[in-house]
Structure 1
Amino acid sequence: MPEPITPELIQEAARGSQQAFRAIVEANQRFVYAAAFRFVHDQHEAEDITQDVFVRLWKNLHAYKPEVKLTTWLYKIVTNRCLDFLKSRHGRHRNNKVDVSLQLNVNSTSTPETDLHRQELTALVYAAADELTHKQKAVFILRDLEGLTSDEVCEALSMTAGNVKSNLFHARQKIAEKLKNRYQTTDKSFL
């Protein structure tokens, strides 16, 4: 999660201060990129989406409401942009995905075998998430991978608490089933 940005800095950026806006971008670009990558699994697309998110933020900062956390607003922008991307790509096959292992934070005490298991599990979770509906995928990523609270997910996706809970339940159920099917015939001790 990025460091909190003061309302004064946001107001300064909204008045056109490039220095203030640069500070906002620097404080938030890693988490925006990470959220985008979790949706699209493509380094270049995630970079493009990240840039687009900040362009949209710059153009709409005047409409920012201080009662909403900036990070929640950014999650809403990145989620909407990613969902637009996923809808436009529907039916097209992409082969330029970055190896999942490049996105992992590998523990220095881990063994090659545990690293391989972690990479395989991560790839399976991403593959399973790709088979979810767009809403289920968005809720799953924001809640379980990004660690947002249910209230923040509701606000970021403009959904009711019941819809978030239902989509999260179904997403987890589908992902668990996919993992169960994969490991049912192989190493059961891994899960």
Structure 2
Amino acid sequence: MAIINDQTYIEKTLKGDTNAFAFLVNNYKVMVFSLAMKMLKSREEAEEISQDTFIKAYKNLSKFKGDSKFSTWLYKIAYRSCLDSLKKNREKYHTGTIDEITINKINSTDNILEEISRKERAVIIKECLDKLPEEERTILWMFYYDELSLKEILEITDLSESNLKVKLHRARKRLLTVVKNNVEPEIINHYGRK
């Protein structure tokens, strides 16, 4: 249904009805802003990127051929805009190194996370995700939270399938390391006293 509505509003916009584009903006502004916040971690920058994304989409709407969903096309514009912003401000963003992950460490972390309520777990995972480098955080967010398919993520990022799978695997490992290093000691202390 959304695809049919999107196409209708795209056609109206291309015929000069700027109010029709407002429907598309309203429909996807949360998605675009959420992506920008996840990647940039700055409300001001996310708002600027969101605005730029919709301006670029409006100017290039005639180039949208409908080969993918409009949301995927728009997501790609936002993703590219965020990457450009990150490249310009590279010194603001720091990336850590991946520690060696063993099966015992994974099992230990999994056992501890099972002790935590679902709500607490969601907060912990979000905080840990925020500590990841922007590309890894974004790929994990697209896959798990936005529930985009690998095919959609491939379209957005222009990565090869094998490269995306490697990056997704590394991002999961790095997330596990962040959980292990930042959360586990607090949890062990908290739950160890029970």
Scaled to the shorter chain, the TM-score interval is 0.7 to 0.9
1:122 correspondence with 2:126: yes
What do residues 51-94 of structure 1 show as CA deviations (whole Å, max 9, x unaligned)? 0000000000010111211000011001101111111111137x
Q: Which has the higher helix share?
A: 2
Q: Which residue of 1 aligns with 2:64?
A: 64
CA contact (8 A) 2:124 2:183 kept: no
CA contact (8 A) 1:39 1:141 kept: no
Q: Which residue of 2 aligns with 1:42?
A: 42
Q: Which amino acid aligns with 2:81?
A: R
CA contact (8 A) 1:40 1:86 kept: yes
Normalised by the length of structure 2, the TM-score is 0.76
Whichever of the two has the greater Rg, that structure is 2
Q: Which residue of 1 aligns with 2:88?
A: 88
Q: Which amino acid aligns with 1:10?
A: I
- Structure 1: stretches of 5+ with no match in the other structure: 94-112
What do residues 26-75 of structure 1 show as CA deviations (whole Å, max 9, x unaligned)? 11111111111111111111111100000000000010111211000011
Q: Which residue of 2 aligns with 1:181?
A: 181
What is the Cα deviation at residue 180 of structure 1?
A: 1.1
Q: Which residue of 2 aligns with 1:23?
A: 23
What do residues 102-146 of structure 1 show as CA deviations (whole Å, max 9, x unaligned)? xxxxxxxxxxx987775454222201x23x6x3x34422322232
In the alignment, the residues of structure 2 paired with residue 114 and residue 154 of structure 1 have an alpha-carbon distance, to the nearest angstrom, of 30
In the alignment, the residues of structure 1 paired with residue 142 and residue 119 of structure 2 have an alpha-carbon distance, to the nearest angstrom, of 24
In the alignment, the residues of structure 2 paired with residue 79 and residue 157 of structure 1 have an alpha-carbon distance, to the nearest angstrom, of 7
Normalised by the length of structure 1, the TM-score is 0.77
Q: Which amino acid aligns with 1:25?
A: V
Give identity over the alignment, percent.
24
Q: Which residue of 2 aligns with 1:139?
A: 139
Aligned pairs, number = 166
In the alignment, the residues of structure 2 paired with residue 18 and residue 184 of structure 1 have an alpha-carbon distance, to the nearest angstrom, of 52
SS at match of 1:65: coil
Q: Which residue of 2 aligns with 1:52?
A: 52
What do residues 126-167 of structure 1 show as CA deviations (whole Å, max 9, x unaligned)? 01x23x6x3x34422322232211010011111222111111
Higher relative contact order (CA 8 A, sep 6+): 2
Over 6 Å off, 4+ runs: 113-117
Per the alignment, do residues 137 and 122 of structure 1 end up closer, same or farther by CA in structure 2, a change over 3 Å counting? closer
Q: Which residue of 2 aligns with 1:10?
A: 10
- Structure 2: stretches of 5+ with no match in the other structure: 94-116
Per the alignment, do residues 87 and 66 of structure 1 end up closer, same or farther by CA in structure 2, a change over 3 Å counting? same
In the alignment, the residues of structure 2 paired with residue 43 and residue 143 of structure 1 have an alpha-carbon distance, to the nearest angstrom, of 22
SS at match of 1:35: helix
In the alignment, the residues of structure 2 paired with residue 119 and residue 175 of structure 1 have an alpha-carbon distance, to the nearest angstrom, of 14
Q: Which residue of 1 aligns with 2:165?
A: 165
Q: Which amino acid aligns with 2:127?
A: A
